[in-house]
Amino acid sequence: MPEYRPEPQAFSSPVTRSAIFIVATLANGDGHADIVRAWCADVAPVVRAVGHRVPSGKLSCVCGFGSSAWDRLFGGPRPAALHPFREYGSGERVAVATPGDLLLHIRADSMDLCFELATQLLGKLGDAIRVVDEVHGFQNFDMRAMIGFVDGTENPTGREAVDFTAIGDEDAEFAGSSYVIVQKYLHDMAGWNALPVEKQELIIGRKKLSDIELDADVKPSSSHSSLTTLDENGQEVKILRDNMPFGRPGAGEFGTYFIGYARSPAPIEQMLENMFVGRPPGNYDRLLDFSRAVTGSLFFVPSADLLEALADRSAPAAVVRQHE
């Protein structure tokens, strides 16, 4: 008999040209939790129905649940490392925590597919949730972030991507599941563009045009690349990112939607601490002099099998008691 391994949700699917990120909170009131639980079994068939209309469109959707939402919807057992998003930094430079019970990360090569799937999935949820943030992201020229540098180069791929993102024996009951952190950043593009390219390259740690990493003897320890490179017992610990630029030029809004998946929140949190507080403290990421985090949430991403099975969970005892 082959070993049964739960299938992760589609977070390591290929990069796409478009994405919609939706963060929602659960509405209070009778019956709403039942609607969200039942919806968990609808996600895969709805993705199939919409995606099948354009087979080459690479449509996918990943769903995640925040810490308190998990307790309210599903109760125990709970994922070992699930907790609310922790803030990092102080003063001008803070990785803020903002409300988030449910995340939808919808991707496709064209926005019409993303739009249709978002409409169908939100339609089924109805009043059971309240959307608190919705961002429509686009792929920018040759994979460039809003700040003009190529983004995603050091992402793990293939087997490595699964190893760094899917929970294994450390929390066997949730094998194949994952964690994701999202943050919405707004950039001061006038300030950033006023910097000479050589200064921008020292801040990122790579060449802007060619995307080649700066040599170790010129790359500052405060560069974005240095501060987000983690070493554990001589082994690099990676995360899987699928950031997207977004914005409204007419409103002067230029942003990056950061999204990072990992098998534990710890490496992403360590990167945030390095960026916002500094490694060592004070040696922070100068990208943050031109970028402000305006949202921040942490979600648990059940495996595809678990997501479907969650529909059959009954209301947690504490919640049932509240309504008696």
The tokens for 245 are 């630029």
- Within its chain, how far is the Cα of 140 from the centroid? 18
Closer residue to ligand HEM in complex, CB, 101/151: 151
Among 21, 149, 246, 284, binds ligand HEM (CB under 6 A): 149
Of 256, 221, 253, 242, which is closest to residue 301 (Cα–Cα)? 242
Distance CA 258, CA 249 (A): 19
Q: Give me the least distance between CB of 164 and ligand HEM, in Å please.
A: 10
Closer residue to ligand HEM in complex, CB, 119/153: 153
Pick the piece of the chain touching ligand HEM (CB under 6 A) from 129-137, 148-156, 158-166, 306-314: 148-156
Pick the piece of the chain touching ligand HEM (CB under 6 A) from 32-40, 43-51, 147-155, 307-315: 147-155
Residue 153 has phi, psi (to 5 degrees) of: -55, -45
**Would you count residue 273 as binding ligand HEM (CB under 6 A)?**
no
Of 20, 21, 31, which is closest to residue 128 (Cα–Cα)? 31
Residue 241 DSSP SS3: strand
Residue 120 DSSP SS3: helix
Binding mask 156-195 for ligand HEM (x = CB under 6 A): ---------------------------x-x----------
Distance CA 127, CA 195 (A): 47
How many residues in the shown chain lie near ligand HEM by CB under 6 A?
Answer: 27
Distance CA 146, CA 243 (A): 10
Task: Answer for the pair 106, 114: CB distance below 8 angstroms, yes or no.
Answer: yes
Among 117, 125, 271, 307, binds ligand HEM (CB under 6 A): 271
Residue 151 designated active-site: yes
**Would you count residue 224 as binding ligand HEM (CB under 6 A)?**
yes
Closer residue to ligand HEM in complex, CB, 17/241: 241
Q: Which of residues 78-117 bind ligand HEM (CB under 6 A)?
A: none
Task: Answer for the pair 20, 134: CB distance below 8 angstroms, yes or no.
Answer: yes
Among 84, 119, 153, 322, binds ligand HEM (CB under 6 A): 153
Closer residue to ligand HEM in complex, CB, 268/307: 268
The tokens for 324 are 């008696």
Distance CA 316, CA 158 (A): 37
Distance CA 86, CA 176 (A): 24
Binding mask 195-214 for ligand HEM (x = CB under 6 A): ---------x-x--------
Would you list the DSSP string of 174-231? Answer: GTT-EEEEEEEEEE-HHHHHHS-HHHHHHHHTB-TTT-PBPPTTTS-TTSHHHHT-EE
Q: Give me the least distance between CB of 10 and ligand HEM, in Å please.
A: 20
Options 151, 242, 285, 305, the catalytic residue: 151
**Would you count residue 237 as binding ligand HEM (CB under 6 A)?**
no
Residues designated as active site: 151
The footprint of ligand HEM (CB under 6 A) covers 145, 147, 149-154, 183, 185, 204, 206, 224-225, 228-229, 239, 241, 243, 256, 258, 260, 268, 271-272, 287, 291
